[in-house]
Structure 1
Amino acid sequence: MNTTTRIHTDHGTTKRLGDWTAEKHSEVKARYGSVVIDLRSPLIDGDDDIVVHADLDHAMVKLLVPDDAVIDQSELEWTGRGRVKDFTRQAGAAGRVIRLTGAVKSGEFRIHRGGIAILSALFSREFVEDARQANREGRTPTLIDPANAPR
């Protein structure tokens, strides 16, 4: 059974970092805002594609993905300006497929891989809270690498 995780933002910023879900389907609706989604979690298991369905209006979605992830943007419909920025795309990557679907009106997707994804997670308020909690519990912060999450 596939359930869908819904993320909505309007004139704001929403971040989902670390082990925030085990679902493979996300629905993002953003208007004049930004959304950061961490898809590096080992909780998202299996061989199926990860699907991010977007309804963006002058918005930006930043995806934190593993180094070997394959981004499929063929099902996105564009109105106005916009693009998928994936500067460190791996030629011949054979990892997990992340399919981007839906409609984008003057918006963009930014793909952060590897070290850039780690830095994006590090420079957030969520990381500071996670680091403080990890220090109290004597463990490693999980937002650097969600694979370090205590199970």
Structure 2
Amino acid sequence: MTTATPLDSAERIHADHAPVKHLGHWTEATDFDVRARRATVVLDLRSPQISWDEPVTVNLELATAVLTLLLPDAVTVDSWDLAFTGRGRVKDAQPGTGRSRLRLVGAVTDGEIRLRRGGTAQLTAMCSRAYLDDLRRAHRNGALPTVDDPTRKGNH
């Protein structure tokens, strides 16, 4: 089995028998180190604060886990350096055709990677506790929510 080498400057996400969700504007990183065991991880990479000038890299070590990535429409996904053991696959219903690239590297054992773009990504973000909290904050402040669409400005 191929194991992923952790990236030194990467945003680290660890999930062990628990769900982890990072939605909206949560990072500016372009390298991610995701380790999950019997867990569900949702990462929102649609923020305009994330630079897609260079390929964004997600270094994975998944064991019986599901990773859902919320992506901008035009991102092309490269999963060539991803090793699967047991059952597992990358589910991409709407492949991107743009110049921006997402590299998936590492190892997946009995796991799945789901890629969501456009309206599907928006619905995924809206079905979360973070979105409900964002709606309440926006209503209190007279602003607009941003968890469902991070490219939207938060104020009127």
* Shorter-chain TM-score above 0.5: yes
Which residue number corresponds to residue 100 of structure 1?
104
Match of 1:59 in 2: 65
Please provide the CA RMSD for this pair. Answer: 1.4
- 1:85 is matched by which residue type in structure 2? K
Pick one of 121, 127, 136 that aligns with 2:140.
Answer: 136
* Equivalent residues in 2 for 1:1-151, closer than 5 Å: 3-90=9-96, 93-150=97-154
Write the distance in 2 (CA, Å) between the matches of 1:28 and 1:55: 6
Q: Which moved more, 1:104-113 or 1:45-54?
A: 45-54
Distance, in Å, in 2 between the alignment partners of 1:148 and 1:88 is 22
Give TM-score scaled by structure 1 length: 0.94
Given residue 72 of structure 2, which amino acid in structure 1 is its aligned partner?
A: P
Identity %: 43
CA distance in 2, matches of 1:69, 1:113: 9
Is the 1:11–1:33 Cα contact (8 Å) retained in structure 2? Answer: yes
Report the AA paired with residue 121 of structure 1: A
Q: Using structure 2 for the length normalisation, give the TM-score.
A: 0.91
Runs of 4+ in 1 over 6 A off after TM superposition: none
2 CA distance for matches of 1:141 and 1:18? Answer: 9
What whole-Å deviation, never above 9, does each CA across 1:9-68 have from its counterpart, x for those lacking one? 111100000010000000000000110000000001251111010000000000000111
Unaligned runs of 5+ in 1: none
Count of aligned pairs between the two proteins? 148
